[in-house]
Amino acid sequence: MPDQKSYKWFLDFLNQDEGHMHGLETILFAKQTKFQQMEIMATRNYGRCLVLDGKMQSSEYDEFIYHEALVHPALLTHPNPKKVFIVGGGEGATLREILRHKSVESVLMVDIDQEVVESCKNYLPEWHQGAFDDPRVRLEFRDARKHLEETKDVYDVIIIDISEPMEEGPAYLLYTKEFYKIVMNRLSQTGIISLQAGTTSLTALLCFSAVYQTLKSVFPIVRPYQAIIPCFGLPWGFALASKQVDPQSLSQEDTDKRISERITGDLRYYSGEIHQGQFLLPKHIRQHAERETRVIEDNHPLFAYD
């Protein structure tokens, strides 16, 4: 066994009192962009990783879990998704998974940080796998909230793939009641949104619970769920919200049938069994989320370390 004292380490702080250490081989690229500190590093256990403002975003070896969990529940729930909007999604892996759906005719990806996207194109090709070059894709670099406020376009699915709401970071106004109202107005009648909602760790449930309550203040149907993302060191929360379609109404058999009929290639993580099981949150998580009173608003934002 190598002498661990000789390792270089990256400490991913999960909260103020807890962290996850990664053995580090090298930092491939680092830059302070206009919006955030970006690092692309090679780790010993998880391969290449994207880190923003000191927080692990995804890793080469398990990003498929995060991105399949984020994308496919929403697109499979929708009866016939054709037009999709991505908020964020810098690595291009969310885009990659959306484009696997045969019904999708157009995808607009709006990310505020062009430097992150361009760096991911160069250093993380395994993530996007050429998705940015697909003729169905349009990529814009601007404030996604402002774009949705100004456009009259309507989307079948909106995927919100952004970092946690860090103070001074670019994402905190994309977790508020006001933002979710804008998103709802840009959805078709059978439209659905998907987003990551922070950890479901026992000691750090505020973000997940507050996002759930904020979504409930806007959408009639909200379904929280979780997945295990090994490189994060914690279980991770997600949520789906819609006007009328309910992801929990899909049976295991129906989900597997839609996967077979709609998706190009084989999924590595997602299945009908996973679709059913992911909504079965442990009692302590569900109780915490239901009892939470915090609704996130523009003038009362939530930060990951609140």
- In the residue annotation, 17 being an active-site residue is answered as no
Mean pLDDT within 9-17: 86
Instruction: Give the model's pLDDT for residue 7.
Output: 75
Average pLDDT on 133-142 reads: 97
Mean pLDDT value across residues 9-16: 86
First to last CA, the chain: 39
pLDDT at 305: 57
CB 56 within 8 A of CB 13: no
List pLDDT tens digits, range 169-185. Answer: 667 889 999 999 999 99
Which of 273, 298, 258 lies closest to 174 in space, CA to CA? Answer: 298
Mean pLDDT of all residues in 4-9: 74
pLDDT band at 102 (very low <50, low <70, confident <90, very high): very high
* Chosen CATH of 63-291 out of 3.40.50.1100, 3.40.605.10, 3.40.50.150, 2.60.40.1930: 3.40.50.150
- Mean pLDDT value of segment 102-115: 97
User: Pairing between strand 187-199 and 155-161?
Assistant: parallel
* Each residue's pLDDT tens digit, 190-203: 999 999 999 999 98
- Give, for 74, the enclosing helix (H) or strand (E): helix 63-77
Contact 224, 239 (CB under 8 A): yes
Tell me which amino acid residue 195 is: L
Residue pair 123/29 in contact by the 8 Å Cβ criterion: yes
Q: Which residues of 81-105 are buried (b: 16+ CB within 10 A; e: fewer)?
A: bebbbbbbbbbbbbbbbbbbbebbe
Q: What pTM does this model have?
A: 0.94
Mean local confidence (pLDDT), 149-153: 96
Task: Give the whole-angstrom CA distance, residue 45 versus residue 41.
Answer: 12
Read off the pLDDT band of 306 (50, 70, 90): low
Nearest to 156 by CA among 134, 123, 126, 189: 189
Distance CA 256, CA 273 (A): 8
State residue 180's pLDDT score: 97
Catalytic residue (choose from 12, 53, 62, 161): 161
Selection from 164, 171, 52, 180 nearest residue 111 by Cα: 171
pLDDT at 140 over 90: yes
Q: Is the pLDDT of residue 226 over 90?
A: yes
- CA dist 61 and 45 (Å) reads 8
Contact 103/157 with Cβ under 8 angstroms? Answer: no
Give percent above pLDDT 90 in the chain.
Answer: 87
The rounded mean pLDDT for the chain is 93
Residue pair 180/194 in contact by the 8 Å Cβ criterion: no
Top-tier CATH class for 4-59? mainly beta
Instruction: Tell me the mean pLDDT in the region 228-245.
Output: 95
Domain residue extents for the chain: 4-59, 63-291
pLDDT tens sequence across 29-69: 999 999 999 999 999 999 999 999 999 999 999 999 999 99
Other Cβ atoms closer than 10 A to 288:
18
pLDDT of the residue at 3: 57
